[in-house]
Homo-oligomer: A and B are copies of this chain.
Amino acid sequence: MILRDPVHGLIAFSGPTESVVVRLLDCREVQRLRRIRALGLACLAYPGGEHSRFAHAVGSTHVMRRYLDRVAALAEDVPPHDRIDEEHAIIALAAALLHDLGHGPYSHTFEAVIPGMPRHEHWTSRILLDPGTEVHQVLASIDPSMPGKVDRLIHGESEIRHLARAVAGTFDVDRCDYLLRDSYMTGVRYGTLDLDWLLMSLRLYVPEGQSEAYLAVDGEKGLTAVESFFLARLYMYRQVYLHKAVRSAEVVLRALVRRLCELGPEPGTPPALARLLRGETLSVGEYLDMDDRTLETAIMAYCESGDPVLADLAGRLRHRRLFKSLRLRPEADSAAVQGRLDGVLAAAGIAPSYLGIVDRVEVDAYRDDAALVVISSSGRRERLIDASPVLRGLSRERFVQHRAIFPPEIRGEVREALAEFR
């Protein structure tokens, strides 16, 4: 199987080991990922960012294939039990392809706004382990224990430690693909990731007195590639994932869901969503029926709701009439701001009160991962934070987004009321 990918160029899977990828790609649970946008509501801020989880899953699998190639080239550095045999290669490729199977509508956004909603990792496990799903059947046809092994690897468990880290670690194949892809698609080109160099500078080493191989980076060749990875992550957060329009859209969606909970059954709500909102547990089949299209069809119906609040919120999402936001100083007192904001809403007769909220996100510019070490040309091992002045500098900083988000009609009043906090 050969396909053209805008990010990685040519992607090919061939040979008996990789045939698992071709078979899994045909499964309906994987094809469903075409109907889930990877960046959720971020395409409202970046018109280019409309790509799906499917494209990302294929890209992640390609990065995993390259990781396995790299590990094969390093085979002599590690004890036999840390080398990748055919079974582990199959598990690894399947894990990369299937790691996002459990995402719901709008990816992360969905699980964040539905109260009590299990995270997508939970659903990934259920889908994988359910004998009724096509992915389960494909995996089980290779070996009945395969679905479980893939599931464990997706959750970072494997007897091969470095493989677990490549699936669920500081820099795993998932991140490598999504940082590249989200940057390519949105056009935000800061802090590009140098995948070729990153892979080439990977090392495996066995610390003295231990028997397991750990991932490491060649300090002479790879330090900049590793730093650029973390910078890319930081910049994608700042520029895209936490973009003001994205956060504003999420506030609207969250308010809509809250309103739905308050109203009870509303016409147009798909049965699965209705059950979710009532806190019930879905079957795998019901969950899989939910995707971006389901949610958008519901939102279309809500535009006609008899409840003016719900209709307004639905129209805002459907026609991109987002709330406004006002940037606040990082150190401003969020509670005090929320108080003022509530006052403005009340004075303007806007209800419910959750239409105006204070949104504060704090992200570590860099959080050190002690398990990832740097090997200098003399063979000395250092923590990343000791080897890299750039990451050391970043590790002391936090990146704070602090904003008030509210309906546009009270923009003037909010600006005035919050002047001292800006």
A194 at the interface (CB under 8 A from B): yes
A327 at the interface (CB under 8 A from B): yes
Task: Flag the segment in A121-129, A144-152, A250-258, A294-302 that touches B.
Answer: A294-302
Task: Flag the segment in A26-34, A93-101, A162-170, A204-212 that touches B.
Answer: A26-34
Q: What number of copies of this chain does the assembly contain?
A: 4
Q: When the two chains form their complex, are residues A6 and B185 in contact, meaning their CB atoms are under 8 A apart?
A: yes
Q: When the two chains form their complex, are residues A10 and B294 in contact, meaning their CB atoms are under 8 A apart?
A: no
Q: When the two chains form their complex, are residues B31 and A221 in contact, meaning their CB atoms are under 8 A apart?
A: no
Cβ of A4: which chain B residues have Cβ within 8 Å of it?
A: 46, 48, 186-188, 197
Q: When the two chains form their complex, are residues A327 and B220 in contact, meaning their CB atoms are under 8 A apart?
A: yes
Assess A28 versus B319: contact at CB under 8 Å? Given A2-B221, A397-B389: yes
Cβ of A190: which chain B residues have Cβ within 8 Å of it?
A: 192, 194, 224-225, 228
Q: When the two chains form their complex, are residues A50 and B48 in contact, meaning their CB atoms are under 8 A apart?
A: no
Assess A191 versus B194: contact at CB under 8 Å? Given A200-B12, A376-B327: no
User: How many of A's residues come within 8 Å of B, CB to CB?
Assistant: 76
Cβ of A197: which chain B residues have Cβ within 8 Å of it?
A: 4, 10
A161 at the interface (CB under 8 A from B): no
Task: Fill in one digit per residue for A37-48: 1 if any B CB lies within 8 Å of its CB, else 0.
Answer: 000000100111
Q: Tell me the complex Cα distance, A239–B7, Å.
A: 18
A202 at the interface (CB under 8 A from B): no
A365 at the interface (CB under 8 A from B): yes
Which residue of chain B is the closest to A59 with respect to CB atoms?
Answer: B47
Q: Tell me the complex Cα distance, A283–B46, Å.
A: 32
Q: When the two chains form their complex, are residues A224 and B200 in contact, meaning their CB atoms are under 8 A apart?
A: no
A5 at the interface (CB under 8 A from B): yes
With A3-B47, A7-B48 given, can you name 5 additional A-B contacts, CB distance below 8 Å?
A: A9-B187, A9-B196, A28-B319, A190-B228, A392-B397
The 8 closest A-B pairs by CB, nearest first: A393-B393, A6-B187, A389-B397, A378-B422, A47-B55, A6-B48, A28-B319, A393-B397
